Amino acid sequence: MGPGSANVILVGFMGAGKSAVGRLLARRLDLCFVETDDMIVAREGKPIPEIFAERGETYFRALEAEVLDLLAEKRGHVIATGGGFPCRDGVMERLKRLGTVVWLDGDFDRLYARAQRSGDRPMLAGRSREDLLALYRQREAYYARADARVDTSHLGVDAVVGQILRLLGERQRSAGAERMRARPPDSRA
Ligand code: S3P
């Protein structure tokens, strides 16, 4: 896969490892890496917790919608999205037009523990485990529309990247076979 080809888009709940996996995956595929959260931070000139504190979640979601428009120009990128990014009607369909969408999932309690350990996440503030579980359940229906799902529960970053590389390879092979089948017999080499 080269820089001229389609994108790989990572979606999933907080703590799924989208950033770490995305960075390594981009290196392995020789693609650029971008995070929707970083695009928002660059646009606003302030960190995510400050955006939430000063303008609230609704404003942040509007910024995500603007970033979605900007993603249409990306080719040959690995794109890591924020946990809530694909969880509105129509977003997943648009992401799937930009490339292969991979859902990094896992056992909820592992995701929750990881999310609490790293980063300053405003969606965790003032919410109990039960609140977050309810949010995860709500979001699952959106994530499930991804092209593929990888269960990260028992895998390190390297192994998750290995699985994604394998499934991208399989998708490329089956798309190639599909193209061969679609060609008229006399045009086959
Ligand atoms: C959010 C997840 C965060 C970030 C923001 C909101 C969410 O990204 O976009 O704090 O609603 O789940 P990560 O999934 O990378 O933590």
Summarised one tens digit per residue, pLDDT across range 23-33 is: 999 999 999 99
Residue 162 forms part of a structural domain: yes
Q: How many whole angstroms separate alpha carbon 146 and alpha carbon 139? A: 12
Q: How far apart are CA 139 and CA 160, in angstroms?
A: 21
The answer to whether residue 1 sits within a structural domain is no
Residue 40 CA to ligand 1 centre (angstroms): 11
State the SS3 of 143-179: HCCCCEEEECCCCCHHHHHHHHHHHHHHHHHHHHHHH
Distance CA 121, CA 49 (A): 7
Give yes or no for residue 8 having a pLDDT over 50.
Answer: yes
Distance 64 CA to ligand 1 centre (A): 11
% residues pLDDT > 70 (the chain): 95
pTM of this prediction exceeds 0.95 = no
For residue 91, the CA-to-ligand 1 centroid distance in Å is 16
Alpha carbon distance 114, 119 (integer Å): 9
- Which of 121, 131, 133 maximizes ligand 1 atoms within 8 Å of its Cβ, making it the mutation to test the pocket? 121
- State how far Cα 130 lies from the chain centre: 24
CATH number for the domain that contains residue 94? 3.40.50.300
Asked if 12 and 136 count as a contact pair (C-beta separation under 8 A), the reply is: no
Specify the pLDDT at position 181: 85
Is residue 69 situated within a structural domain? yes
Residue 169 counted as domain residue: yes
| Average pLDDT of the residues in 18-47 | 98
Residue 121 lies in a domain: yes
pLDDT over 90, % of the chain: 85
Domain presence at residue 149: yes
Residue to substitute in 14, 57, 133 for testing ligand 1 pocket (most ligand atoms within 8 angstroms of CB): 14
Check: CB of residue 35 under 8 Å from CB of residue 142: no
Atom 16 (ligand 1) nearest CA:
14
C-alpha 186 – ligand 1 centre gap (Å): 52
Cα–ligand 1 centroid distance for 173 (angstroms): 33
Nearest ligand 1 atom to alpha carbon 16? 14
How many domains does one find in the chain? 1
By residue range, what is the domain housing residue 125?
Answer: 7-187
Task: Using DSSP, state whether 76 is helix, strand or coil.
Answer: coil
Give a yes or no: residue 2 inside a domain. Answer: no
Q: Tokens 């995860």 identify what position?
A: 136
Classified as helix, coil or strand, 55 is: helix
